[in-house]
Amino acid sequence: MPPQSDTPWYKTAYPYVGAVFVLMAVLYFLGRENHLMMLGLLLVGALYSLTIQIIVIVAAFQDSVGTGFLTMCIPFYAIYFVFRVHDNDTLKLLYGSAVIINIGLRFVNFN
C-alpha cells in the first residue's frame, strides 16, 4: 500500500520499481528473438539485485556491525533482517522486488 503521508508520488519507490519491471518486460519480449536484448535483461536484473543488496548491507551495518556481517555472509539472514528486523517499508519493497527478479531470471531461457 502506498504511503499515506504528504510525500509526492515521485519521491516514493513505487514508480521506480515499476519502471524497472517495465524495462525488464520490454527486454524480455525483445530478447526472445535477439540475444543481445536477453543479455541486457540479465545485466539489468543483476545490476538491480546487486544495488539492492548493497543498500541492505549498508542498512544492516548501520544497525550494528554483527548484523551487518550476518547480512553480508548469510543470504537467508538478509531476508530475515529486511522483513522482520528493519522497519523501513521502502527497503522491504525494494528487496522483495529484487527477490522476485532473481527468481524470475532463474526461469528465463537464455539460449
Decide if 5 is inside a domain.
no
Residue-wise pLDDT tens digits, 95-108:
999 999 999 999 98
Which pLDDT band, with edges at 50, 70 and 90, does 1 fall under?
Answer: low
Decide if 6 is inside a domain.
no
Decide if 4 is inside a domain.
no
Decide if 82 is inside a domain.
yes
The domain of 27 spans 12-107
Q: Collapse the DSSP code of 51 into the 3-class scheme (helix H, G, I; strand E, B; otherwise coil) and give the result.
A: helix
Residue carrying the nine cell digits 524470475: 104
Number of domains in the chain: 1
Please name which of 102, 90, 92, 1 lies closest in space to residue 47, comparing C-alpha atoms. Answer: 102
Q: What is the pLDDT of residue 69?
A: 95
